[in-house]
C-alpha cells in the first residue's frame, strides 16, 4: 500500500513525534510505499521534503491508501487531524475524532471513566492561582500538577505547598491530582487482524515521591520493567479493566492505558491514543514481549486501518 507517515506537529512534542514518525516509516518501508510528511511548528506541511499549499496537500492525501499520524499532543492527537482525514475519506491509523478528543483532555477522560465505574486519580481543575488553596485543602499535599491536554509528561511536577501549586497554575488551567502511591504500570492495547491484543504490562520504576516526567522519559534509558512485577491475578484484572477503558472511551487501533497499582487496588491515571512509536517506546516494548516485533506491529496497524 501507499502509506503516508506524518510526524512533527505544532505541539510541545514535535521532536518526539519526529522520532516516532521516522521509526514507523523505516519499519514500513520494506513492505509498503512510504510517503514521509512533516508538519512544522507553524502548521505548514512538507511531503517528501516539498512544501505543500492546502490544495496540493489535499491532492497528496487523496493519493495514499492510508495515513499513519505519528503525532503526539495538540493538533495531531486531539481529533483535529483525524477530523480532517475523515472529512476527506482517507483511512488512518488510530482512534477517531471523538476518542482522540476525549482522551486528550485528562479531566474529560476522568469524567467518562467515572460514568463507567472506573476508578481514576482524584483531582480537580485549577483555573487560577487563587483556586490552589481549595485544591490542596481537598486533596492534601503533595499533589501532582499537570497540563489539561498535553503528553510526554510535559509540564508535570510535584507540588508540596499551596505556593508551588499557585506558581504551577499561573499561566492557565491545570489539573491538580492527589499524589498516587503504588506501582505505575502501563498496558498496551492494539487491534491486529481484527483482534484486540494486549502487550505485557510495563512497570515504570520511580523514586519514592517522584514522578515519571519528561526528563525521566527522555533523559537516558527509561526505568522500565517488562513484564511488570505483578501477581498473576492482579495482572489479569488489570488487563480486563484496560479493555473496559478502551471500550468505554471508544478507542480503536491502539491505545496505552496508564495505571497506579497499589496491592489489589487499580486506579486509572490517563489514556494515550498515539503513544511513542519508536522501538524503545513503551507500547512497542510491551507488544514485543508477547511476540509482536515492531515491523509487524506497525504493518498490522496500517492494514487494520484499511479493513
Is the domain of 231 the same as that of 157?
no
Burial 209-243 (b: 16+ CB within 10 A, else e): eebbbbebbeeeebebebebebeeebbeebbebbb
165 and 257, same domain (yes or no): no
Domain count, the chain: 3
> Of 154, 178, 202, which residue constitutes the final position of a domain?
178
Question: What integer pLDDT is reported at residue 219 of this predicted model?
Answer: 47
Domain of residue 215 covers: 101-119+181-305
For each of the chain's 307 residues, which pLDDT tens digit applies? 999 999 999 999 999 999 999 999 999 999 999 999 999 999 999 999 999 999 999 999 999 999 999 999 999 999 999 999 999 999 999 999 999 999 999 999 999 999 999 999 999 999 999 999 999 999 999 999 999 987 646 678 999 999 999 999 988 899 999 998 899 999 999 999 999 999 999 999 976 555 544 544 544 567 899 999 999 999 999 999 999 999 999 999 999 999 999 999 999 999 999 999 999 999 999 999 999 999 999 999 999 998 6
- Same domain? For 105 and 242 the reply is yes
Please report, for the domain that includes residue 88, its CATH number: 3.40.50.20
Q: pTM of whole model > 0.95?
A: no
Integer Cα distance of 115 and 109 in angstroms: 10
Q: In whole angstroms, how far apart are CA 108 and each of 21, 102, 153?
A: 28, 6, 18
pLDDT value for 153? 60
Cα atoms found within 13 Å of the Cα of residue 198, Cβ hemisphere only: 19
User: What is the reported pLDDT for 208?
Assistant: 55
Residues 60 and 115 in one domain: no
Residues 201 and 225 in one domain: yes
**Domain CATH number, residue 163:** 3.30.1490.20
CB 152: neighbour CB atoms within 10 A?
21
Q: Are 76 and 93 in contact (CB under 8 A)?
A: no
What pLDDT score was predicted for residue 223? 83
Residues 163, 57 share a domain:
no
CATH of the domain at 237: 3.30.470.20
Same domain, 106 and 252: yes
Q: 62 and 158 share a domain?
A: no
Same domain, yes or no: 218 and 263 = yes
Q: What is the pLDDT, as a whole number, of residue 75?
A: 93
Residues 68 and 110 in one domain: no
Shared domain for 88 and 109, answered yes or no, is no
Cell of 67: 495515513
Residues 201 and 284 in one domain: yes
**How big is the CA angle at 46 (ends 38 and 190), to the nearest 5 degrees?**
30
Amino acid at each position: 500500500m501507499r502509506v503516508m507517515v506524518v510526524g512533527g506537529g505544532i505541539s510541545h512534542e514535535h521532536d518526539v513525534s519526529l522520532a516516532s514518525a521516522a521509526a514507523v516509516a523505516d519499519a514500513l518501508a520494506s513492505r509498503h510505499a512510504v510517503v514521509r510528511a512533516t508538519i512544522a511548528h507553524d502548521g505548514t506541511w512538507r511531503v517528501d521534503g516539498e512544501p505543500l499549499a492546502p490544495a496540493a496537500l489535499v491532492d497528496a492525501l487523496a493519493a495514499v491508501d492510508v495515513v499513519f499520524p505519528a503525532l503526539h499532543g495538540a493538533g495531531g492527537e486531539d481529533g483535529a487531524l483525524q477530523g480532517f482525514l475523515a472529512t476527506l475519506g482517507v483511512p488512518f491509523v488510530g482512534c477517531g475524532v471523538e476518542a482522540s478528543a476525549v482522551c486528550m483532555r485528562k479531566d474529560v477522560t476522568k469524567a467518562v471513566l467515572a460514568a463507567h465505574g472506573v476508578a481514576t486519580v482524584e483531582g480537580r481543575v485549577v483555573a487560577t492561582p487563587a483556586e490552589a488553596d481549595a485544591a490542596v485543602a481537598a486533596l492534601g499535599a503533595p499533589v501532582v500538577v499537570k497540563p489539561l491536554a498535553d503528553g510526554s509528561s510535559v509540564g508535570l511536577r510535584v507540588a508540596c505547598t499551596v505556593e508551588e501549586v499557585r506558581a504551577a497554575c499561573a499561566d492557565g488551567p491545570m489539573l491538580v491530582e492527589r499524589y498516587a502511591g503504588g506501582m505505575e504500570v502501563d498496558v498496551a492495547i492494539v487491534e491486529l487482524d481484527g483482534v484486540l491484543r494486549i502487550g505485557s504490562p510495563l512497570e515504570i520504576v520511580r523514586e519514592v515521591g517522584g514522578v515519571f516526567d519528561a526528563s525521566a522519559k527522555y533523559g537516558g534509558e527509561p526505568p522500565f520493567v517488562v513484564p511488570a512485577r505483578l501477581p498473576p491475578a492482579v495482572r489479569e484484572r488489570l488487563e480486563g479493566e484496560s479493555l473496559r477503558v478502551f471500550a468505554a472511551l471508544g478507542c480503536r487501533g491502539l491505545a496505552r492505558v496508564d495505571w497506579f497499582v497499589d496491592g489489589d487496588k487499580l486506579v486509572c491515571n490517563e489514556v494515550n491514543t498515539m503513544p511513542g512509536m519508536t522501538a524503545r517506546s513503551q507500547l512497542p516494548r510491551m507488544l514485543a514481549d508477547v511476540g509482536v516485533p515492531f515491523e509487524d506491529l506497525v504493518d498490522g496497524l496500517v492494514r487494520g486501518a484499511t479493513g
